[in-house]
Amino acid sequence: MVCTLGILLPAAFAVGLVARRPVPVVASLPPGLAAQAKDFGQVVWTKADLWPGQSIVTTLRRDAANSVVVELTFHDLAKPDVLVYWAAGKEPDVKSLPINARLLGALSNRAPLPIQTDARNEAGRLVLYSLADHDVVGVSKSFVVEQD
């Protein structure tokens, strides 16, 4: 019985892998489900070297009402439930989420994350925090968001 199962189970597993259907992928969302993003057309700056050890491109954008958002573009970040925080200060080494960190939003490729007005004109860092792992995924270099 054990020898028969030793042969049949791997064969059944291989047949199941070959027979499974591909995961459906939608090329674009219908207009009713797509988020209506505000136009933050003016690019203040774009930096690719802001995240040590990570391949993340950071873009700071500003609109006509002087609202500022940050957009993160990444390719190979595979962590669950990543949130983006703004942490004021010039701490050189961040091992855990700082107490003064402010939540900007969930990490999504090229999604605009608004930076509050009172967080501008002071040095700070962006912190990526995995909620599922309770771990800091990445910390940007310190920079200042200037107020116009």
Question: What's the pLDDT score for residue 18?
Answer: 92
**For 103-117, what is the mean pLDDT?**
87
Q: Tens of pLDDT along 43-93?
A: 888 899 988 888 899 998 888 777 888 888 887 777 888 999 999 887 767
Question: What's the pLDDT score for residue 74?
Answer: 85
Element (H, E) at 4: helix 2-19
Whether 130 and 95 have beta carbons less than 8 Å apart is answered as: no
Q: Tens of pLDDT along 60-72?
A: 888 877 788 888 8
**Residue type (1 letter), 122:** E
